[in-house]
Amino acid sequence: MDHSSPTIIFSIFYWLFAFCFIVGPADFKGAGLTVENLLSSWLGSEEIDFVNFHIKRTSATLIVHCLFPIGYYVGMTLVPDSGVSFGDMFSTSLELGWHVYSSISLVILLGALTVVFYWQINSWSYHPIATNLSLYKSEDNTSDSAWRVQASEVNNEFRRIDKYATSFVGWTRVIVTENWIIVTSLYGVKLTPQDKATISVLQTEEHAVSPESNAMVQYVHLRIKPTIQRTLKPYFARVISVEFKDLKESLRTRVYTLPDLSILQSTDELFLKAFREQLNQNDRYTSSDPLDQCIGCMQRDAEVKLTKNCGSTGPHECKSCNCKPMWCAECMGRWYASRQDRHRIETWLSGSATCPMCRAKFCMLDISLLDT
Ligand SMILES: [Zn+2]
Ligand SMILES: [Zn+2]
Ligand SMILES: [Zn+2]
């Protein structure tokens, strides 16, 4: 293999593109570079025919993604000096490494094509979405296409405006219709009637900054277990915590949650948690004065002092505040949050506020917990 630079440049760009296309960062999705956008006329409308749309989408996604390995080989034959030519794919004159690579790539592609060919037999009756739906067909209808009854029920319910759909977390989204709970992901869709599922919260996961929104976010991990057969495996989904309440309310079945799990259901709750964490990292302030009660809530002792620690300079720099400690951490956090732009959560942690008494400007780094 000749490692001349066009080969390397092509390789880097090709695999970077493939990675972005498959993993799909927000920018790529925004630019319309997804299977859904590229094949939209063939896929039809999700709103009108939800089940067919996803049967085609998952099949197309599998094939398109399995085209990438062989696409690299084909692309390489066009790169000058790569030493690879299209006609050599099956000839023994090809270097052993490329020979193995092109063979494996072909097997992957043929495997995907075979799987999709099998799925589409009998008008897609063997697709996993169809076999999933046929679990719930009525007992007196034993025909292969009995799943279409459930499919049209799902389609009808999805068309209604009272369905609830969470935002995408990666490629996953949870949809609740009148009778069904549905999880869509990159290669598959899981559907279960709500009264035949046990839904529980497994755990929560916090990120101060999420790659999608650059904002504070907590994910709630859901486990959905179909109950009609013991052998059916549960499936999982993540939703952002501020959508959890709406999701729970749109479900007719109960969501089991461990009592000690704290789900942060509003932006303020999320912020206060991040605020507390920041305070624990900040420098402490030593004071020997007796503590007053917090003048915000009148319930806790004053806990924080505003002192300039951040090193900002210039006309907009933070100022030292000479007020004595008067606020508990939570009240200070709520005050700080109330001074932020409600629509730009991503700016909150790096924002600033003014002291409620003397109007001195401070930022998150300037809030010290008291050491007494
Ligand atoms: Zn307070
Ligand atoms: Zn002050
Ligand atoms: Zn500051």
DSSP letter string over 13-69? HHHHHHHHHHH--HHHHHTT-SHHHHTHHHH--TTT-HHHHHHHHHHHHHHHHHHHH
Q: Specify whether 40 is located in the same domain as 125.
A: yes
Separation in Å, CA 271 to CA 173, 305, 309: 24, 19, 21
What is residue 28's predicted lDDT score, i.e. its pLDDT?
73
Q: Specify whether 223 is located in the same domain as 294.
A: no
> What is the block-wise mean pLDDT of the chain (372 residues), using blocks of 10 residues?
73 92 76 85 93 96 95 89 75 79 94 97 94 89 85 95 91 94 95 95 78 70 93 93 92 89 82 87 87 90 91 86 91 93 82 92 93 80
Secondary structure class of 80 (helix, strand, coil): coil
Q: Is residue 272 part of a domain?
A: no
Where is the domain boundary, 116, 133, 150? 133
What is residue 213's predicted lDDT score, i.e. its pLDDT?
53
Q: For residue 286, what are the domain limits?
A: 281-371
- Ligand 2 center–CA 316 separation, angstroms: 16
The protein residues having their C-beta less than 5 angstroms from ligand 1 (an ion) are 294, 296-297, 328, 331
What is residue 81's predicted lDDT score, i.e. its pLDDT?
77
Q: Which residues contact 95 (CB under 8 A, 6 or more apart)?
A: 1, 83
* CA of 317, nearest ligand number: 3
What is residue 212's predicted lDDT score, i.e. its pLDDT?
53
Q: Specify whether 167 is located in the same domain as 242.
A: yes
* CA of 318, nearest ligand number: 3
The protein residues having their C-beta less than 5 angstroms from ligand 2 (an ion) are 321, 323, 355, 357-358, 360
Where is the domain boundary, 84, 115, 133? 133
Where is the domain boundary, 265, 291, 306? 265
Q: Specify whether 177 is located in the same domain as 292.
A: no
* CA of 298, nearest ligand number: 1
